[in-house]
């Protein structure tokens, strides 16, 4: 089946079987390997992308189901000139990653949080990100990074 969807603002078409997930289409057909695939059954959050602005597990969505919708991946976070998104910058500055496998999922989940709540508390950040697993950092620096990004995005000193 031919599936046309908008990915990071660009209309893309792929020819895929219905059983192929959005995660696999992004990675294998469209070459967007920033979206990572960990567990493939909804538990780890590595594959989190935004669908029409809302976070979803791209391993639990068949690409045919996303036809006509707007998908945002980690590749869509930075500006066109390569300037990092405040979340990416904060993950860098606050050491919010080690191996980086989980990072795209955390960034996309955090992006949805900050879109909806620009001033989350530490506890709100932890609860929101509870669906994303990280095997390296112990989470503390990830939470710090999201709080730092929120502060910078609010324009606080």
Partner 1 sequence: MKPAAFEYLAPRSVEEAVALLAERGEDAKVIAGGQSLVPMMAFRLATPAALVDLNGVSELDHARVDRDTLVLGATARHRSVQELAGLRERCAMVAEAVGLIGHPPIRNRGTAGGSIAHADPAAEWPALLLALDGEVDAMGPGGRRTIAAADLFRTYFTTALAPDEILTEVRLPLPAGAVGSAFVEVAQRHGDFAVAGAGALMIVADDGSVADARLVLIGVRDTAVRSVAAETILRGASPTDPVLDDATNAIRSEIDPVSDVHGSSAYRRRVAIAVARRAVTLARDRAHAAVA
Ligand X SMILES: Cc1cc2nc3c(=O)[nH]c(=O)nc-3n(C[C@H](O)[C@H](O)[C@H](O)COP(=O)(O)OP(=O)(O)OC[C@H]3O[C@@H](n4cnc5c(N)ncnc54)[C@H](O)[C@@H]3O)c2cc1C
Residues that bind partner 1 (CB under 8 A): 1, 17-21, 24, 40-42, 45, 48, 51, 54-57, 59-62, 64-65, 109, 112-113, 126-128, 130-132
Site for ligand X in 21-50 (CB under 6 A): 42-43
Sign of dihedral through CA atoms 9, 12, 18, 19?
negative
Counts of helices then strands in the chain (DSSP H, E): 5, 5
CA distance 112 to 155: 18
Q: Which of partner 1, ligand X, ligand FES, none does residue 44 bind (CB under 5 to 8 Å by kind)?
A: ligand FES
User: Residue 51 CA to chain centroid, in angstroms?
Assistant: 10
51 three-state secondary structure: strand
86 or 131: whose CB is closer to partner 1? 131
Distance in Å, CB of 34 to ligand X, minimum: 22
**Where on the chain is the footprint of ligand FES (CB under 6 A)?**
37-40, 42-47, 57, 59, 97-102, 134-137
């Amino acid at each position: 089946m031919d599936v046309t969807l908008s990915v990071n603002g660009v209309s893309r078409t792929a020819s895929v079987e219905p059983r192929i997930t959005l995660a696999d289409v992004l990675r294998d057909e469209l070459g967007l390997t920033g979206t990572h695939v960990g567990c493939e059954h909804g538990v780890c959050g590595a594959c989190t992308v935004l669908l029409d602005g809302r976070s979803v597990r791209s391993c639990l969505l068949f690409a045919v189901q996303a036809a006509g919708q707007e998908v945002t991946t980690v590749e869509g976070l930075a500006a066109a000139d390569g300037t990092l998104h405040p979340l990416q910058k904060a993950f860098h500055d606050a050491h919010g990653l080690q191996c980086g496998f989980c990072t795209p999922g955390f960034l996309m989940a955090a992006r949805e949080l900050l879109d909806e709540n620009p001033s989350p508390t530490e506890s709100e950040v932890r609860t929101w990100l509870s669906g994303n697993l990280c095997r390296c950092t112990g989470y503390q620096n990830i939470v710090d990074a999201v709080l730092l990004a929120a502060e910078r995005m609010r324009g606080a000193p």
